[in-house]
Amino acid sequence: AISKLLGQDINLAREPAVVNLFMSGLPLLNDQEEAKEVYPRMAQLLRQGGDSMKRHHPHALFVCARVFMTEDVKEEMKRGLAPVAKTLASQIGKAGVQAVMAKLTEAERATLARVIG
């Protein structure tokens, strides 16, 4: 629902409370219909680069890693998130990536490492 609101009024992306609420609901792994809306919206918010999203970059990379390993998420969606993950990794730096990796399973770490190079 929050993703749809952001789609109707992108100015809401400047509101930290809205962005925090949106990001706190991720990763969304079991609802394919909602995932079609949510992950492109997350990518859009990240591209816009607002201050409200910067603090969520590590969590967004974590979300990408979880999505890459989730069977219920379509391959097209995963391919679309790969460049997002690469950009996030470069933005948060080595220490940030290591902090995210520490929260992942071994398989998720291996997949994320492969995706971000």
Would you give per-residue pLDDT tens digits along the chain (117 residues)?
788 888 888 788 888 899 999 999 999 877 878 888 899 999 999 988 778 899 999 999 999 999 999 888 889 999 999 999 999 999 999 999 999 999 999 999 999 999 999
The pLDDT score that the predictor gives to residue 73 is 84
What is residue 2's predicted lDDT score, i.e. its pLDDT? Answer: 86
Q: Is residue 86 within 8 Å of 117, Cβ to Cβ?
A: yes
Instruction: Measure Cα distances from 68 to 1, 5, 51, 52, 77 in Å.
Output: 23, 26, 26, 25, 9
Residue tagged 């609101």 (tokens): 5
What is the model's pLDDT at position 85? 98
Q: Closest by alpha carbon to 60, among 47, 71, 74?
A: 47
Contacts of 22 (CB under 8 A, 6+ apart): 2, 3, 6, 41, 42, 45
